[in-house]
Amino acid sequence: MSETLSAESALARDGAARIEWVRRHSPVLDGYVRDAVNDGALRGTRIAVVVHLEAKTAFLATVLADAGAEVIAAGSNPRTTDASVVAALRERGMTVVADAGGDYGSWERELRAAADCEPDYIIDDGAELTMRTAEHRPDVFARLKGVSEETTTGTARLQAMSAAGRLPFPALTANDARCKHLFDNRYATGQTTLQAILRLTNRQIAGARVAVVGYGYVGKGLALYAKALGARTFVTEVDPVRALEAHTDGHTVGARRDVFPQAQIIITATGGMRAIGAADLPHLAHDVILANAGHHDLEVDTEALAAAAASAAESRPGITSYRIGERDLHVLAGGALVNIAGGSGHPVEVMDLTFAVQGLGVHHLASTSLDPGVHILPKALDDSIAAAKLASYGIRLDELRTDQLDDHTARMAGTADGGSPA
Ligand SMILES: NC(=O)c1ccc[n+]([C@@H]2O[C@H](COP(=O)([O-])OP(=O)(O)OC[C@H]3O[C@@H](n4cnc5c(N)ncnc54)[C@H](O)[C@@H]3O)[C@@H](O)[C@H]2O)c1
């Protein structure tokens, strides 16, 4: 018993150290945001934080708890929960309805348990808890005061609910804040996805043919980092403007049946399902590595792969190799987000921005009265986060002088003589 207890407290100590490392490198969340949310607006509110449950999420949860909220922590994917972080948060007295090493069944039960905690607000990822609360606890759903959503996929789900007249509360799309998608989706996912693929496979990237499926903010970052590491980059898209953008950015753009047979690594980033599906399997080259950076674990359709394969085996930790005819197709991290399930997730500096958006977002929901529907974080708050980050780097920003406005704009602003508006 005492051995179990000491193992648990060693785990909690490890988790606390990881959370402290995040705090050290999160000047915006630990300074500007901490001060802003500490005005009493969150005191006594119950906030469910349902994002990949590792140290960066845990630090956000502690900032909200320090501001007086009762925080319930759960995971947004069964493969990304960190046992040490769970232990540290529990030791701190926080309600955590997640355990590491679970499967989809246990995760469903955890999310239902989170809904049963009857949160006022949800900080969600993929709208996973919001959707389950609607199904499992419609009474709690009807009383929800607001949701702040992390992802592109979750935003699409909330917008669909709103269009169907089934969103009785305001939802903020953190993903649409520029301080989120310009840095998190693009740079953080680009860096950490390539990092995870290289670590899991121990293969060379320079000279490799890497195909990216979907050229949104995430796809742009993936292609950017792959190219910077010396890869020959390919893109497949369904949106003509984004395909043209990829071409102009210097990547080879083509239809999947032209691109896939050449690719040695394919990374999906569409936010949809089956970006590599059953119909694509005949076009995949022998020994190709398939990795997913999008929200759905089925962007690489592992069910279709399993159905088509004569055998499947773990070639290395985190690599499942499917034998289809004469070809071996390798899937990383079971098809889950490879940078989180197969890596350490986003860099702390970037999550400092993303979680600043989420922290200020839930505070904005609690301190203003927004209509039901999907909203974006006010530009002034978005700007204030970037300004705090720049200040933490010691970077000074210029202000536009009125004599720098063109004459027409100055007249409209009432400052044609360069003086103050009348
Ligand atoms: N791994 C991470 O850490 C991480 C971080 C941020 C976002 N995400 C997730 O990544 C996904 C993409 O996010 P985003 O911000 O780039 O979204 P986005 O909407 O900006 O881009 C998605 C792109 O995929 C294209 N697309 C859709 N279906 C396609 C298909 N079948 N084939 C080819 N192209 C297709 C779309 O036209 C679009 O250009 C989302 O699921 C998001 O939640 C993951």
Q: Under 8 Å CB-to-CB from 50, ≥6 apart: which residues?
A: 73, 74, 75, 76, 111, 114, 122, 123, 124, 125, 128, 129
* 218, 237, 344, 350: residue to mutate for ligand 1 pocket, most atoms within 8 A of CB: 218
CATH code that applies to domain 2-180+346-392:
3.40.50.1480
Terminus-to-terminus CA distance in the chain, angstroms?
76
CB of 352 closer than 8 Å to CB of 29 = yes
Order across the sheet with 70-74: list the strands.
Answer: 95-96, 70-74, 46-50, 121-124, 146-149, 170-173, 373-375
Ligand 1: nearest atom to the Cα of 239: 37
Q: Where in the chain is the domain with CATH 3.40.50.1480?
A: 2-180+346-392
CB of 258 closer than 8 Å to CB of 236 = no
Residues in the chain: 422
Per-residue tokens: 153: 């996929």
Nearest CA owner, ligand 1 atom 39: 216
Q: Under 8 Å CB-to-CB from 316, ≥6 apart: which residues?
A: 200, 201, 202
Residue 417: the pLDDT is 45
User: How far apart are the CA of 378 and the centre of ligand 1, in A?
Assistant: 24
Q: Where in the chain is the domain with CATH 3.40.50.720?
A: 186-341
Q: Under 8 Å CB-to-CB from 276, ≥6 apart: which residues?
A: 213, 260, 266, 268, 284, 290, 299, 300, 301
Ligand 1: nearest atom to the Cα of 275: 31
How far, in Å, CA of 329 to CA of 320, rounded? 8
Residue 3: the pLDDT is 59
CATH topology of domain 186-341: Rossmann fold (3.40.50)
Is residue 379 left, alpha or beta, with left meaning phi > 0 and alpha meaning psi from -120 to 50?
alpha
Check if 146 has its Cβ closer than 6 Å to any atom of ligand 1. no
Residue 5: the pLDDT is 65
Where the chain has pLDDT below 50, the residues are 1, 416-422
User: How far apart are the CA of 294 and the centre of ligand 1, in A?
Assistant: 6
Could you tell me the pTM of the whole model? 0.89
Check if 190 has its Cβ closer than 6 Å to any atom of ligand 1. no
| 354, amino acid identity | T
* 77, 125, 182, 185: residue to mutate for ligand 1 pocket, most atoms within 8 A of CB: 185
Question: Closest Cα partner for 119 from 110, 127, 130, 109?
Answer: 130
Residue 327: the pLDDT is 98
Check if 77 has its Cβ closer than 6 Å to any atom of ligand 1. no
* 152, 153, 179: residue to mutate for ligand 1 pocket, most atoms within 8 A of CB: 152
For residue 404, the SS3 value is helix
Residue 86: the pLDDT is 97
Helices and strands: H and E segment counts in the chain: 19, 15
Residue 341: the pLDDT is 87
Q: 346: exposed, middle or buried (C-beta count within 10 Å: 0-12, 13-18, 19+)?
A: buried
Secondary-structure breakdown of the chain: helix, strand, coil percentages, each rounded to the nearest 5: 50, 15, 35
Check if 127 has its Cβ closer than 6 Å to any atom of ligand 1. no
User: How far apart are the CA of 272 and the centre of ligand 1, in A?
Assistant: 7
